[in-house]
Copies of this chain bind each other. A is one copy, B any other.
Amino acid sequence: MKASIITIGDEILIGQIVDTNSGFIAKALDKIGIEVAEMRSISDNKQHILDTFSELQDDSDLVIVTGGLGPTKDDVTRNTFCEYFGDSLVSNAKVLEHVTKLIHNYTGNTNPLLQSNIDQALVPSKATVLFNQYGTAPGIWMKKGNTVFISLPGVPYEMKGLMEHEVIPRIVSEYRRPYIIHKTVMTYGMGESMIADRIADWENSLPAFIKLAYLPSPGRVRLRLSARGSDKNELESAIAENIKSLSGLISDVIVGFEEEETIEKMLGKWLTDKKLTVATAESCTGGKIAQTLTSVPGASAYFCGSVVAYQEAIKTDVLQVPTETINRFSVVSNEVAEAMALGVKRIMKTDYAIATTGNAGPGKDNTDKDVGTVCIALALPDGSVISNEFKFGQPREKVIDRAVNKSLEMLQKEILKFVE
């Protein structure tokens, strides 16, 4: 079963916003065994949309469209659906009631609705309406030939709600699909080509129904195995077998296995299980380690807090890094990072503490270190502290991202020791 995803909106084509909807939809479809053959982003232009519908219909069982459903003039999807399906718009009573309730709640009064709000309840007469609990524009499900066309709002939270509550359950109940299993091996400390060289023979002997992909990102490479077929047990045992033989070849650089889990989620599970806590003291990462850790629901069980010590005075006054240490070793030094980690660990009474100090660039600021230099320290439950200086290059955003990743990896490595 094949799907295509279309995103409608000029704001994407001029680069004003990044399309994150297609990725979310693709992941949700992949999970239920549907292959996404193509994604397209096109303009708010009726003819362009109609042409794209025709082009994709032949090769797709499913075409999911996001965007262009708002109440304003630049939103043309609904009318385009009518034209493509030879249909016309009718007002849906249930949607109108929901829109009225939402608007009255939002404005705090019960004034008559604007015409543009009333029009949000218009749907093609032949469409199956998908109820949008988080917003005013409903989803639409229509079939032409063997292809189902689905229209969803472009607002990410609304689109996600509709995918989860309406689209996926409906597909699962109406279509038979093959199994897809992914397994990802996370490695760090070795380049993509070095890994490829080491596992060349293994890679060449993979069965045809298993695909391998290399996914490099700052400081690490993920290897993703994907198996597709009709026999779930066969796929699972083939994946397990190949993961085992792969692990034997690169055990020195493997840090974990995940389906789709992030390092912060894995850390969260371990820390919660072991009832251990962590805090951060951040300079160049500016709170991004804290923010990454707290992106996981339930993080308050193990994440106590952070001191973002962006200016030198905060390092000395709040974290009590001795001025002498800064003067002697420079503000970007392992010694300062260690003092920051121990400082925040003491203040927040945690088991672990991560600290960063560095220069993310673009300027050299008041440090004597090269742009891209970051020192990371990790304070451990036994009172000791370890640290390392890294050269993360440039530009600024890469330096910050690599520092965040490396910090979490250092913590992961220590916790793995503790677990073993």
Contacts and interface: CB of A to CB of B under 8 A. Distances in A.
Interface of A: 10-20, 22-30, 35-44, 48, 70-74, 106, 114-117, 120, 134, 155, 157, 160, 182, 191-194, 196-197, 203, 211-216, 224, 226, 260, 280, 282, 285-291, 293-295, 297-300, 303-311, 313-314, 317-318, 347-349, 361-363, 365, 393, 395-398, 400
B295 A291 contact: no
Contacts of A71: 192-193, 196
Nearest to A204: B73
Contacts of A214: 70, 72, 74
18 contacts: A11-B215, A13-B36, A15-B30, A16-B260, A17-B215, A37-B42, A38-B40, A70-B192, A70-B214, A72-B193, A280-B308, A287-B288, A287-B308, A290-B308, A295-B397, A300-B311, A304-B310, A313-B349
- The SS class assigned to the A binding surface is mixed
When all copies of this chain in the complex are counted, the total is 2
Contacts of A211: 10, 74
Contacts of A157: 395, 398
Contact of A347 (B38, B311, B317): B317
Given A348-B318, A361-B297, A26 B14 contact: yes
Contact of A297 (B18, B72, B363): B363
Nearest to A136: B193
Nearest to A196: B72
A13 B34 CA distance: 11
Given A71-B193, A157-B398, A286-B287, 6 more contacts: A17-B215, A37-B42, A38-B43, A72-B214, A294-B308, A304-B313
Contacts of A192: 70-72
B348 A314 contact: yes
Nearest to A277: B311
